[in-house]
Amino acid sequence: MDNITLKKKLSTYVTSKGQIRNLSEEMLYEVLVAWEGWTGPSADFYRSLGFSYKQMAGVIGKAKKLKREGYFGTSEFKPVQVEGQQMAVVAEGGPCPTVEVVWNNGQVIRFSGVDHLVEFLKKSA
């Protein structure tokens, strides 16, 4: 959902004093999804919805609390395909599988376990 539609939906919950009240769980979830998908500065997010930080802080806080408590269910894992790279589990030898990363130019990097791969990705980011 784009922020224009979300802005229109949120405007129906604004009181005469400018406060956002009585949001349903579905609306809180929509705001949270938009917030988590926003890549710019938070001030721009609030501005795109037509609200200030003070107006949105409680809404986002309540949505995060509901998410932690499991009201929105569990979101499914979404794999990310990085262009130029392929990842595959080659062999499972005991408790830690061997992971192989094949780069565009044919270069292969093998990791003895998932922990090593995660450490490599953290350092390379």
Query: What would the pLDDT profile of 52-111 be if each residue is shown by its tens digit?
Result: 998 898 999 999 999 888 887 766 656 666 665 555 544 444 555 677 777 777 777 888
Report which listed range, 1-5, 49-53, 92-96, 120-124, is most confident. 49-53
What are the sequence ranges of the domains in the chain? 3-68, 85-124
Query: Do residues 113 and 121 lie in contact, with contact meaning Cβ atoms separated by under 8 Å?
Result: no
Query: What would the pLDDT profile of 3-12 be if each residue is shown by its tens digit?
Result: 899 999 999 9
The reported pTM is: 0.57
Q: Please tell me which residue, 2 or 78, carries the higher pLDDT value.
A: 2
Kindly state the DSSP code that residue 86 receives in the 8-state scheme: E
**Would you mind telling me the total number of residues written for the chain in this entry?**
125
Q: Is 99 left (phi over 0), alpha (psi -120 to 50) or beta?
A: beta
